[in-house]
Amino acid sequence: MANLTDGRAGRKLPRTVLMTDEARHPDPGPAIAGLAAGSAVIFRHYGAANRRGLAEKLARQCRSRHLLFLVAGDPRLALAVNADGLHIPERLVLGPGNWRLWRRPGWLVTAAAHSPAALARAARAGVDAALLSPVFATRSHPGAPTIGPLRFAAWARRAAVPVYALGGLSAVRPGLGWRRIRASGAAGWASVGGFTANDGKTSPSGSGL
């Protein structure tokens, strides 16, 4: 089983990860303000009109709150805003546009995964951790088959890379938080809407990870 506390960048891995989503949370600021120090934010606003400006604003907010700020799928933007790392969508882990050429010392690099094979590819690619989803039913991908807690635990324990649980987890809804998967061997958990009480009032998104 992979080390659950330290990534390859040499820093302690965060326990919780907020993933931004432009449809469900156009302004991630309030959710970021509620995160505990040491948590991480993955900036995914792929289609935002002023993506760089928003990334710069959120990066500053994260630095002021002692949070890690990662940019999804865009190493150039990660460099431009002095991000703490990069998140790689599953299709790009071994795909075109070699992100490894852009990686900087000290960066925390995570990857999306939806299967044991994807976890293995992420480990071979040298990422620090993988976000495995969907563990439970999620509004981001309505109707998608779920992994479930038992299968998630089996996959996470066999993985050669630290694994985060993503999908259907919540910090504000009883029974759907970290306690559901903390004995699974997970490095932590990630969520799009699970950090705000009014997430159910927004529209679902079909954006990738």
Cβ-contact 62, 33 below 8 angstroms: no
pLDDT of residue 204: 34
Give me the long-range contacts of 180-183 (CB less than 8 A, separation at least 24).
180/136, 180/149, 181/135, 181/149, 181/152, 181/153, 183/153
CB half-sphere exposure, 186, CA atoms < 13 A: 27
> What CATH homologous superfamily does 16-199 map to?
Aldolase class I (3.20.20.70)
pLDDT of residue 96: 57
CA distance linking residue 143 with residue 4, whole number of Å: 30
pLDDT of residue 207: 38
pLDDT of residue 29: 94
> In the chain, where are the structural domains located?
16-199
The 10s digit of each residue's pLDDT in 178-190 is 677 878 889 999 9
pLDDT tens for each residue of the chain, 209 residues long? 444 555 555 568 999 999 999 988 889 999 999 999 999 999 999 999 899 999 999 999 999 999 999 999 999 999 999 999 999 999 888 765 677 777 888 999 999 999 999 999 999 999 999 999 999 887 766 677 899 999 999 999 999 999 999 998 877 665 556 677 878 889 999 998 888 765 544 333 333 46
Cβ-contact 90, 209 below 8 angstroms: yes
Single-letter amino acid, residue 173: R
Distances (CA, A) of 63 to 23, 70, 191: 24, 12, 20
Identify which of 107, 111, 105 has the alpha carbon closest to the alpha carbon of residue 124. 111
Burial (CB count within 10 angstroms: exposed 0-12, middle 13-18, buried 19+), residue 104: middle
Give the phi and the psi of residue 92 in degrees, each rounded to 5.
-105, 0
pLDDT of residue 24: 85
